[in-house]
Amino acid sequence: MPNVDIRGFIFDLDGVLTDTAEYHYLAWQKLADEAGIPFNREKNEALRGVSRRASLMLIIGDRPYSEDQIQEMMARKNSYYVQMIENITAKDLLPGAIALLHELRQAKIKIAIASGSKNARTVITKLGIADLIDSLADGYSVQKAKPAPDLFLYAAHQLDLNPSQCVVVEDAAAGVEAALDGGMWAIGIGPVERVGKAHIVLPNLAGVTWKDLQFRFIHKLSTS
Ligand code: BG6
Ligand code: MG
């Protein structure tokens, strides 16, 4: 039986540590409404964890927009999003997030945040968790966005760990796919229909402890 030798946690940000996924959705909804393009929460599910440009492409489909228009729409969506996150604080951390970060630090587990967002650094600073992490991989770090494993591999490298020593915590199907493709352990946050491919699926981080997760990973290995 292979060893479970977890030394690092790589957290996605939007939808895992804080509910900015909702603001991304609201900003896209505003843009789609202005452009007269049908869009709703259900369609937004396909955008979860997806880069800014790829998200816009999914919204516009085969409608013929020029590159200039695409650039303008991406900038406009981002300005709505930046406005929406203006007033976030530590109160916007999702339940259980801070306790788990503290427990991991105490256990000397390395921590990275790997988010495809170019706004990740701002969000982390506003949430007051910059001092709790060892590394940040964001929308500026790699070329290929999730579902490519590049961002998580970059984060593991930053932590000086092998992929198999890292657990990725993700709320997006694209992120779980990226983690598995990168040879990492995956914890999916959300419904099984979305993150069911992860090794462990949890509804959220409330009450989640490193102690319990360790047990579950070991149990997972012994039964697989
Ligand atoms: C991801 C979000 O973290 O970042 C996506 O889950 C978002 O919804 C992507 O599109 C890019 O973010 P930004 O802030 O650079 O537009
Ligand atoms: Mg996410």
The candidate with the shortest Cα–Cα distance to 171, out of 7, 20, 6, is 20
Ligand 2 centroid to residue 102 C-alpha, Å: 21
Give the atom of ligand 1 at the shortest distance from the alpha carbon of 115: 3
Give the atom of ligand 1 at the shortest distance from the alpha carbon of 13: 3
Strand partners, 168: 10, 186
150 carries an active-site annotation: no
Q: Which fold has domain 21-87?
A: DNA polymerase; domain 1 (1.10.150)
Q: Residue with the nearest Cα to atom 11 of ligand 1?
A: 117
Q: Residue with the nearest Cα to atom 12 of ligand 1?
A: 117
Q: What's the CATH architecture for 8-19+89-223?
A: 3-Layer(aba) Sandwich (3.40)
Ligand 2 centroid to residue 224 C-alpha, Å: 27
Give the atom of ligand 1 at the shortest distance from the alpha carbon of 175: 6
Burial 58-95 (b: 16+ CB within 10 A, else e): ebbeeeeeeeeeeeebbeebbebbeebbeebeeebbbe
The candidate with the shortest Cα–Cα distance to 78, out of 43, 123, 144, is 123
Question: In the chain, where does the domain assigned CATH 3.40.50.1000 lie?
Answer: 8-19+89-223
138 carries an active-site annotation: no
Q: What pLDDT does 220 receive?
A: 78
Ligand 2 centroid to residue 12 C-alpha, Å: 5
Q: What pLDDT does 3 receive?
A: 66
Q: What pLDDT does 75 receive?
A: 98
Residue-level pLDDT, tens digit, the chain, 224 residues: 456 799 999 999 999 999 999 999 999 999 999 999 999 999 999 999 999 999 999 999 999 999 999 999 999 999 999 999 999 999 999 999 999 999 999 999 999 999 999 999 999 999 999 999 999 999 999 999 999 999 999 999 999 999 999 999 999 999 999 999 999 999 999 999 999 999 999 999 999 999 999 999 888 777 66
Ligand 1 site, CB within 6 A: 13-14, 21, 24, 47-52, 55, 78, 81, 115-119, 139
Q: What pLDDT does 4 receive?
A: 79
